[in-house]
Structure 1
Amino acid sequence: MTRFLPILLLLSSTTLLPQSLKETADDHFNHAKYELALKDYQKYLKHNSKDSSAWYNLGMSAMNLKDYSHAIEYLKKAQENHFPPSFTSYNIAKAYVLNNNEEMAIKTLQSGADNGTVAYKRISTDGAFDKIKNQEGFKKALEKIRLNAYPCLQDEKRRHFDFWIGEWDVYARGQKVGENSITLADGGCVIHESYTTAGNYSGQSMNYYDPIDEKWHQHWVGAAGDTYNYIETDKDDGMLQFESKFMNIQGKISISRMTFTHNDDGTVRQLMESSNDYGKTWQVAFDGLYKPKAQ
């Protein structure tokens, strides 16, 4: 049996060779040794032509070496082997731009947008696209990619409460009592509230639509230690109503009802009511009017 040992060792070494090459290529790539990485990835891919990550890194090696034609070729191979399109479409388009083929850059972005590319931040902040950023084709593709990245922005159910978004002065009984900054957050999936007064009190809330129960929710925390977990009880065009249980100063459970109404003049009314008898009767706790802050 000893005379067969060298052959077995050779076969074992040959079997391990491709993976060893991949590890070496990855190490070169991660240390920005792109010429060495390119050579090792090319050798490795002769044995593993379906490895999309190797094709991608090969393409990026060529990109960093400013060999844009080969970068496009290799990145398309990565794409064919199902590497995430947000990376491939973005970098193929970038390579086309850097290779002075603006038409193909825009077509690549349009195709990527249609296939679910979500690389909005990368594309919108990459200076390589400055030369085409004012072209209509680029603008349309980028907008589609933005909506791919942030699907809440085009979900009508999540846009119901947008009438509250803005920078507001808050009045009660004709007197200014505070200021409220209502902003979109997390790709339009959250409406964030930051309320301040001239005194010690302030608070914040997170407002969102839950597709599971198909209702709006508001989680409020105030500087006085007050917390409310509101859930939608009614809504209509320009109106949204919530209710939440809370502990009153007597230590008993009460109900808070909060109704927002968008007025024709652009103001918003926030009516807060409370009930100590489980909703049989209601008392006004706060009747506020939001006026847009002067620009």
Structure 2
Amino acid sequence: MRPDSPHPRWLLLAMLLAGGAAAQQDDLAQRAARAAAAADWQLAQGLYAELTKQQTDDPAAWYQLGVSTLNAGGDTSQALAAFSRARELGQPAPPVLFGIARAHAQAKDRSAMFAAIDEMVALGPSRGLLRNLQSNPAFEFVRSEPAFAAALQALTPCTSARYRDFDFWLGQWRVVSPTDQPLGRNTVVKTLDGCMLTESWESAGGGAKGFSINYYDSASDRWTQTYRDNTGNIAGWPDLRGGLREGAMVLENLENPQNMSRWTWTRIDSNKVRQMAESSSDGGQNWQVVWDSYYLRETESVPNLAVQ
């Protein structure tokens, strides 16, 4: 052994001390989490304050310190400092920004509050942030302001104009052929808080039934339709994708050049829609009409089912 090498006993003691410190920190974090879960905010605030002294680079601990400080009715400037530190360390932006907005709201700093809300809106729609802004009493003093209402609208998912591209298809319809022969009935409604259209089809004879979901994907900027019927022939109904073309909804599946399909919904007027399907077996050089129908509105009311 070299003369200047640490004695094995000292190494063992150092390891034991380090392990004990880590165990104490873990115990402190667990106690703080239990206090927060029990809504004992003053205790949680004290424990998280101690934890951030021991773990200065833990973003979650700093964030929870900010939350517990606000919930305990503490100094909003201390909460803001905790949220800022959490943000610097990489805590996810949405909850931190809400905490910052809430702290400014509790301090009645309207300008700083709206600046934080604007940052939240810039992140895109979020039902979680929307619920928090709607339910937290700190924002009561601005609830009637147009700017706050606009922020809530911007945070609400599926409310941009693109999500309404297919609204002309909503309703209860009697479906007929171009020669006015009855083909069936269809009901198209909005579901999932406006994020999806669902179609329920039944043929005139009552034997064939089908159901489709239709939704806009903002990431790909495309509409998608998935249709299934009571034949169980999933392969016969591949997903269709597309969007508006000159006011008509055009959804296609072009993956197989020998079996390409294109469906088009055209608004004739507020009470009439044409639905036409075409197929191609030569890579899209030639198209044949395989379905042609007209939707005649049965009722002026358009149901809007809220599906959880």
- Summarize the Cα distance change of 1:283–1:74 in structure 2 as closer, same or farther, 3 Å threshold: closer
Please say if 1:94 is aligned against 2:99: no
Alignment correspondent of 2:240: 231
Change (3 A) 1:71 1:187: farther
Distance 1:191 1:56, change over 3 A: same
Q: Which runs of 5+ in 2 are unaligned?
A: 1-6, 302-308
SS in 2 for 1:49: coil
Q: 1-side partners of 2:146 and 2:175: how far apart?
A: 44
CA contact 1:38–1:58 (8 Å) conserved in 2: yes
Alpha carbons 1:93, 1:109 under 8 Å: kept: yes
Alignment of 1:214-229 (within 5 A): 216-227=223-234, 228-229=237-238
Alpha-carbon displacement from aligned partner over 1:271-295 (angstroms, at most 9, x marks no partner): 2457899997846544122437313
The residue number in structure 1 matching 2:88 is 80
Which of 46, 67, 82 is 2:74 aligned to? 67
219-228 or 110-119: which moved more?
110-119
Gaps of 5+ in 1: 246-252
Q: Which residue of 2 aligns with 1:113?
A: 121
Distance 1:77 1:194, change over 3 A: farther
Contact 1:258 1:271 in 2 (8 A): yes
The equivalent of 2:112 in structure 1 is: 104
Matched, 1:125 2:118: no
Is 2:44 the partner of 1:37?
yes
- Residue identity opposite 1:51 in structure 2: D
For CA contacts below 8 A with separation 6 or more, give which structure has more relative contact order: 2
Map of 1:194 onto structure 2: 200
Task: Give me the whole-angstrom Cα distance separating, in 1, the residues matched to 2:105 and 2:243.
Answer: 51
Distance 1:140 1:99 in 2: 22
Q: 1:249 corresponds to which residue?
A: none
Tell me how far 1:192 sits from its aligned partner. 3.1
Equivalents in 1 of 2:136, 2:221: separation in Å?
A: 41
Aligned residue for 2:171, secondary structure, equals strand
Give the Cα–Cα distance (whole angstroms) in 1 for the partners of residues 182 and 172 of structure 2.
14
Counting aligned pairs with the same residue, the percent is 23
Which amino acid in structure 1 is aligned with residue 134 of structure 2? Answer: T
Report the CA distance shift for 1:121/1:230 in structure 2 as closer, same or farther (over 3 A). same
TM-score (norm 2): 0.69
Cα deviation for residue 183 of structure 1 reads 2.4
Q: Please name the residue that 2:155 is paired with.
A: 145
User: What is the Cα deviation at residue 212 of structure 1?
Assistant: 9.5
Residue 276 (structure 2) aligns with: 271
Count of aligned pairs:
281
Aligned-residue offset at 1:90: 1.6
1:288 equivalent to 2:294? Answer: yes
Between 6-15 and 59-68, the greater mean CA deviation after superposition:
6-15
Find the residue that maps to 1:46 and give its secondary structure. Answer: helix
Q: Distance in 2 between matches of 1:292 and 1:68?
A: 61
Question: Which residue is 2:175 aligned to?
Answer: 171
Cα shift readout 1:185-232 (whole Å, capped 9, x = no counterpart): 5874x5432335684643211235679998654221123435411435
Alpha-carbon distance between aligned partners in 2 of 1:117 and 1:285, rounded to the nearest angstrom: 38
In structure 1, how many angstroms separate the alpha carbons of the residues matched to 2:20 and 2:233? 68
Q: Is the 8 A contact 1:55 1:74 kept in 2?
A: yes
Counterparts of 1:17-28 in structure 2 under 5 Å?
Answer: 17-28=24-35
What is the root-mean-square deviation in Å for CA atoms of aligned residues? 4.1
Q: Pick the aligned partner of 1:136 from 127, 146, 150.
A: 146
Give 1:169 shift. Answer: 1.7
- Please say if residues 102 and 113 of structure 2, whose CA atoms lie closer than 8 Å, have aligned partners that are also in contact: yes
Structure 1 residue 154: Cα displacement: 4.8
- The match for 1:55 among 46, 53, 62 is 62
The reply on whether 1:262 has 2:272 as its aligned counterpart is no
Asked if structure 2 preserves the Cα contact closer than 8 Å seen for 1:62 and 1:68, the reply is: yes
Deviation at 1:54, TM superposition (A): 0.3
Contact 2:184 2:201 in 1 (8 A): no
Letter in 1 for 2:69: A
